[in-house]
Amino acid sequence: MRWTKLVKILGDLFIINFSFYLAFLIRFEGRIPTVNWQAYWTSAIWITLVAFILFYSYGLYVGGRHQWIEIFAALVWVVVLTSLFGIALSYMLQKYTFPRSVFILTAPLQLLLLSAWRYGLWRYSIWRQGVLTLVVVGPHEAASARARQLHSDGGRLYRVVGLVVEPGAAPAPGDLEVPVRGTYEELGKILDESRPRAVMLCDGLPLEQRERMLREVTARNLAVFIVPDIYEILLSQSRMGHLDGIPILRVDGFTYAPSGAWKRIFDIALSLFLGVVAVPLILLAAVAIKIESPGGPVFYRQWRVGQGGRVFRLIKLRTMVPDAEKLTGPVLATAEDPRVTRVGRVLRATRIDELPQLWNVLKGEMSFIGPRPERPVFVEQFKKEVPGYDWRHRLPVGITGLAQILGRYSTTPADKLRYDLLYAKTLSPLNDVQILLHTLKVMLIRDKAS
């Protein structure tokens, strides 16, 4: 609702500025000198504007259902980035009457007050909306997998009340305690009996079945969530037109046009800047790696497949025991991989192990934003298992992307491909900046895609 969004905006911006007032009171022991307070008001409008842009960019004014950890992680970076902007602004304006110590006091106050404020709003939203009940429709294996994903939060936000599957489907291994209520042809009756608030249509449904189901669901005024097939992603953002009176949809491909030069300029500038910041962190990490396992290398080089199918050597800090694949052969990393060292777990959790890839970006082998590069052995495997997988290589590969900020460690290659193709269809400088901001957020959340 609009009033809810307005309340959020006014509350957030009030707390941003009220925290500065409290910090000044603490800093000057209750009596704020006029000259110092005037210095703050000179900068306040810009600090408030940047804070609002950050709140908006992190999706904190978007409705829907969110985990509290995601909201809190976004608040952390709003506070950090707003503080850094304020410090830089005070230097540029030479407002030396705006003490830097005020920023040190303001940041924890902002985080504390914003967290309390937003937690209250979040609890109210959960209470008002209630648990979203769904019926999941699709091939039995796909429907069961989607139900497990929806129940991964323990059922606090979503609860699947039934599956609707193809006739004669055998139970999928590891099924939840979710009843199979019937087959595709019985969907209307099942919806009337179970009375869910929403329906999810899984990938793999025949087109004619999906069209009929959409009519049945929308006729009952239920929300519909569709897991798109590759074909439907291709149709996204298509343009309506005609050929000699024939109505058509024009579908553009996934080509990296010369207009993408902005992306390369952005990559070079940011990799040079972050490279200077990263050097001390890489040196400290190198010392820690050597102390824990003196016999192994600091850096780990691995062949990956980049844009156009070209192979390059990706550089990371080593996070596993030396010769980790000597006995197992090439295997995909998992969230609780036993081969990861103690230092490696810290480096992975903080994403410090990814910092050497700034060199790959500077060389033009990678971009900051794009599909995550995979090893050649897995690329060949996924090309056989996932139709259209090779399309992702039409774009520069990246350190982070939609699959990393929206997915999890358990996200399948097919779902990662969906994210990659959606990114390709919405390629823009603003989209890249938003993905970078959200990457900072997910660095504070453990269960995210690798």
> Which H/E stretch holds residue 247?
strand 246-250
Give the residue carrying structure tokens 């969907």: 187
Name the residue type at position 145: A
In angstroms, the CA 276 to CA 79 distance is 23
> Of 236, 257, 263, 203, which is closest to residue 422 (Cα–Cα)?
236
* Axis-axis angle for helices 100-129, 2-27 (nearest 10): 150
Residues 6+ apart with CB under 8 A from 103: 23, 83, 86, 87
Residue 91, classed as helix, strand or coil, is: helix
Plot region of 29 (φ>0 → left; ψ -120 to 50 → alpha; else → beta) = left
Query: What single-letter DSSP state applies at residue 264?
Result: H
pLDDT of residue 288: 93
**Where exactly are the structural domains of the chain?**
2-129, 132-227, 258-442
| Both tokens assigned to 134 | 């769904």
d(CA 181, CA 201): 15
Q: What is the pLDDT of residue 96?
A: 55
Residue 314 is encoded by which pair of tokens? 């990706």
Contacts of 388 (CB under 8 A, 6+ apart): 230, 417, 421
The token pair that represents 447 in the structure block: 């269960």
Q: Are 40 and 32 in contact (CB under 8 A)?
A: no
What is the pLDDT, as a whole number, of residue 389?
A: 87
Strand-strand pairing, 246-250 and 299-305: unpaired
Q: CA-to-CA distance for 268 and 368, rounded, in angstroms?
A: 10
Angstrom distance (rounded) from CA 297 to CA 295: 7
Instruction: Please check whether residue 172 is in contact with residue 141, taking contact to mean a CB–CB distance below 8 angstroms.
Output: yes
CA–CA distances in Å: residue 331 to residues 327, 334, 377: 11, 9, 10
Contact (Cβ atoms closer than 8 angstroms) between residue 136 and residue 163: yes
Counted residue by residue, the chain has a size of 450
If we measure between CA atoms, which residue out of 315, 411, 319, 401 comes closest to residue 356?
A: 315
Q: Give the CATH number of domain 132-227.
A: 3.40.50.1980
Phi, psi values for residue 367, rounded to 5°: -120, 170
Please state, in angstroms and rounded to a whole number, the distance separating the CA atoms of residues 353 and 300: 10
30 torsion bin: left (phi>0), alpha (psi -120 to 50), beta (else): left
Say if residues 160 and 178 touch (Cβ distance below 8 Å): yes
Close Cβ partners of 92 (under 8 Å, ≥ 6 residues apart): none
Beta bridge partners of 367: 398
Q: Which residue is it, tokens 């990678």? A: 366
Report the half-sphere exposure of 225 (CA within 13 A, side-chain side). Answer: 18
140-152 pLDDT per residue, tens: 888 888 888 888 7
161-185 pLDDT, tens digit per residue, is 999 988 876 555 555 578 888 889 8
Residue 1 corresponds to which amino acid? M
Handedness of CA 102, 107, 113, 118 (dihedral sign): positive
Task: Answer for the pair 303, 311: CB distance below 8 angstroms, yes or no.
Answer: yes
The pLDDT of residue 80 is 92
Q: To 5 degrees, how large is the angle CA 365–CA 387–CA 397?
A: 15
CA 273 from chain centre, in angstroms, equals 23
CB atoms closer than 10 angstroms to residue 251 = 13
CA-based radius of gyration for the chain: 25
| The pLDDT of residue 258 | 47
Low-confidence ranges of the chain (pLDDT < 50): 258
